[in-house]
Amino acid sequence: MTALGDPARYQFVPGPSAGPLVVGGEGCYLFTAEGRRILDAGGGAIVANIGHGRREVADRVHAAMAQGAYVVPIWPTPHRLSLLDRLVERWLPDGFTQVFFTSGGSESTDAAIRLARAYQYSVGRPSRWKVVGRHPSYHGMTLGTIAAASHSGRRAGFEPMLLDFPKVPWDDPEAVVRVIEQEDPDTIAGFIVEPITGASGGCLVASDEYWATVSQVCREHDIVLIADEVMTGFGRTGRTWGHEHFPLEPDVVLGGKGLGGGYVPIGMVATRPDIASPIAAMGGFMFFTFSGSDAMCAGADAVLEILEREQLVERSAEMGERLVQRLHTALGDHPHVAEIRGRGLFVGVQLVRDRDTGEQFPTETRFAARVVAEGLARDVWYYPAGSGPVHDAVMFGCPFVVTDTELDRMVEVLVASIDAAVAG
- Binding segment for ligand PLP among 98-106, 159-167, 269-277, 350-358 (CB under 6 A)? 98-106
| Type of residue found at 306 | I
230 vs 253, beta carbon nearer ligand PLP: 230
DSSP strand pairing (188-193 vs 224-228): parallel
- 186 burial (CB, 10 Å; 0-12 / 13-18 / 19+) is exposed
Candidates 136, 140, 144, 169; binder of ligand PLP (CB under 6 A) is: 140
Give least dist CB 282 to ligand PLP, A: 27
- Binding segment for ligand PLP among 34-42, 226-234, 315-323, 344-352 (CB under 6 A)? 226-234
Query: What angle do helix axes 273-282 and 105-122 make, rounded to 10 degrees?
Result: 70
Binding mask 348-387 for ligand PLP (x = CB under 6 A): ----------------------------------------
Binding mask 36-75 for ligand PLP (x = CB under 6 A): ---------x------------------------------
Give least dist CB 45 to ligand PLP, A: 6
367 vs 383, beta carbon nearer ligand PLP: 383
Give least dist CB 138 to ligand PLP, A: 5
DSSP class per residue in 39-81: EETTHHHHT-TT-B--HHHHHHHHHHHHT-----TTS--HHHH
**Residues 232 and 265: beta-carbon distance below 8 Å:** no
Candidates 51, 202, 256, 399; binder of ligand PLP (CB under 6 A) is: 256
Asked if 299 interacts with ligand PLP (CB under 6 A), we say no
- Binding segment for ligand PLP among 11-19, 60-68, 80-88, 132-140 (CB under 6 A)? 132-140
392 vs 406, beta carbon nearer ligand PLP: 392
Q: Which residue sits closest to ligand PLP, CB atoms considered?
A: 105
Asked if 139 interacts with ligand PLP (CB under 6 A), we say yes
Give least dist CB 204 to ligand PLP, A: 12
CA separation for the pair 266, 205 (Å, rounded): 26
Asked if 109 interacts with ligand PLP (CB under 6 A), we say yes
Q: Total residues contacting ligand PLP (rule CB under 6 A)?
A: 15
238 vs 411, beta carbon nearer ligand PLP: 238
Candidates 172, 228, 301, 374; binder of ligand PLP (CB under 6 A) is: 228
Binding mask 185-204 for ligand PLP (x = CB under 6 A): ---------x---xx-----
Backbone torsion region of residue 237, taken as left when φ is above 0, otherwise alpha when ψ lies between -120 and 50, otherwise beta: alpha
CA separation for the pair 353, 335 (Å, rounded): 8
Of 386, 342, 137, which is closest to residue 245 (Cα–Cα)? Answer: 342
Give me the helices (H) in 171-311, please.
Answer: 173-183, 208-221, 257-260, 273-282, 294-309
39 vs 192, beta carbon nearer ligand PLP: 192
DSSP state for residue 207 in the 8-state scheme: -
Give least dist CB 232 to ligand PLP, A: 7
Asked if 144 interacts with ligand PLP (CB under 6 A), we say no
Helix, strand, coil abundance in the chain, percent, nearest 5: 40, 20, 40
Residues with Cβ < 8 Å from 58, sequence gap 6 or more? 263
C-alpha count within 13 angstroms, C-beta hemisphere, residue 290: 10
Give me the helices (H) in 138-290, please.
Answer: 143-148, 152-155, 173-183, 208-221, 257-260, 273-282
> Cα separations (Å) of 212 from 94, 183, 225, 399, 420?
19, 20, 12, 31, 42
Candidates 138, 211, 241, 396; binder of ligand PLP (CB under 6 A) is: 138
105 vs 386, beta carbon nearer ligand PLP: 105
DSSP class per residue in 159-181: GGGS----EEETT-HHHHHHHHH
Candidates 42, 73, 105, 255; binder of ligand PLP (CB under 6 A) is: 105
Asked if 397 interacts with ligand PLP (CB under 6 A), we say no
Binding site for ligand PLP (CB under 6 A): 45, 104-106, 109, 138-140, 194, 198-199, 228, 230-231, 256
